[in-house]
Structure 1
Amino acid sequence: MRPDRSLFIVEDDTTFAKTLKRSFEKRDYDVMVCHDREALLDALEKSVPAYAVVDLKLGAGGSGLECVKLLSARDASIRIVVLTGFASIATAVEAIKLGASHYLAKPANTDDIEAAFGRAEGDISVPLSSRPTSIKNLEWERIHETLVETGFNISETARRLGLHRRTLARKLEKRVVR
């Protein structure tokens, strides 16, 4: 009997989703692409996948963390990998708490994602950095954490951080959140 190779891809970038879908289909996965939370809800009514790849930042202010929570609530055994163009400690921790198996920064290829599906345990051989985190990185992590808390509402994020909205917008232009 063939093992379950069903895979949901939750990604709002249609070109990237199409490329990822084709790549996984070549590896004999049955792939369903959902571009937002509502499409994921509809797909979950029909079937529950064994694997899922979820983009952290979805279009129209949507959060992939909501999708991780939905998938995990439906079946805790789903191997969920979260992809993001901007990785932060805060979102990585939340993704894992909500049920993700792994968290990868873009660009990640099919090999990276499939390897992440296979890793159920933590890796104690990961090198520890002896270099302290820079103030810029700490600031960026705090900004991103607050963006997630506010549902990516820039005005509310600026208010909570005590920044002028234009100042925050300039900071965000320097590092695109995906």
Structure 2
Amino acid sequence: MLIIEDDLALGGVLARRLTRQGFECQQAHDVTQGLLLARQFQPSHILLDMKLDEDNGLSLIEPLRKSLPDVTMVLLTGYASIATAVEAIRMGADNYLAKPVDTQTLLRALNAAPADMDVKSVDEVPLNPKRVEWEHIQQVLNANKGNVSATARQLGMHRRTLQRKLLKKPALDHRA
């Protein structure tokens, strides 16, 4: 297993947890080191952080997939959104998990194909309206490459209002 995580403490915790589960773990802390270790180590599994210092982990998905076509790749993020999950899967990640993640959820994601996961369809579980708003804001922000002022203009709201909304955690309760 290759863990590409810029947070040294979290990377260490993940490595210890997964070593106890039988994985041989290597750690990389940036994009360059991640690509180099992937080529050298040839892992069967990769845990990839979405935000790597100033870089975006999404940019690593395609090169990693090209050099390791059979690798099981799970993207971890502290900034979960439906838009980035869809983008990560489209680019070649096998799964997408929000931090913090417990060991059992992580093991299920690493050992199961997405089709095997016990996930309810979107039609079965309506999203909370605040969660829908959060997802839409994230999608527009992503389209504007993180530019808060341009996003606020596009959404028709004041920049400070948008900043306050961005500081709040998304509603995790999926019930309406």
Aligning the two structures, in what range does the TM-score lie when normalised by the shorter sequence?
A: 0.7 to 0.9
Alignment gaps of 5+ in structure 1: 1-6
Aligned to 1:64: 57
Equivalent in 79, 95, 100 of residue 107 of structure 1: 100
Distance 2:157 2:168 in 1: 16
Alignment gaps of 5+ in structure 2: 171-176
Distance 1:106 1:67 in 2: 19
- Does residue 19 (structure 1) correspond to residue 21 (structure 2)? The answer is no
Contact 2:5 2:29 in 1 (8 A): yes
TM-score w.r.t. the length of structure 2 is 0.80
Aligned to 1:139: 133
Cα distance 1:36–1:156, how it changes in 2: closer, same or farther (>3 A)?
A: farther
Q: In structure 2, what residue type is equivalent to 1:47?
A: F
Aligned to 2:68: 75
Q: In structure 2, what residue type is equivalent to 1:81?
A: V
Q: CA deviation at 1:16?
A: 1.0
3-state SS of paired residue (1:171): helix
Give the RMSD, CA atoms, in angstroms: 2.5
Equivalent in 162, 168, 171 of residue 162 of structure 2: 168
Cα distance 1:78–1:131, how it changes in 2: closer, same or farther (>3 A)?
A: closer
TM-score w.r.t. the length of structure 1 is 0.79
Deviations 1:131-168 (A, max 9, x none): 53343222211221233334434344445444443322
Distance 2:67 2:166 in 1: 34
Equivalent in 36, 42, 49 of residue 42 of structure 1: 36
Alignment size in residue pairs: 169
Relative contact order higher in (CA < 8 Å, ≥ 6 apart): 1
Cα distance 1:124–1:77, how it changes in 2: closer, same or farther (>3 A)?
A: closer
Identity of aligned residues (%): 38
Q: CA deviation at 1:107?
A: 2.1
Distance 1:144 1:46 in 2: 36
Contact 2:39 2:67 in 1 (8 A): no
Cα distance 1:130–1:99, how it changes in 2: closer, same or farther (>3 A)?
A: closer
Distance 1:49 1:151 in 2: 32
Distance 1:126 1:45 in 2: 33
Contact 1:76 1:99 in 2 (8 A): no
Q: CA deviation at 1:54?
A: 1.2
Aligned to 1:10: 4
Distance 2:19 2:143 in 1: 35
3-state SS of paired residue (2:115): coil
Cα distance 1:165–1:58, how it changes in 2: closer, same or farther (>3 A)?
A: farther
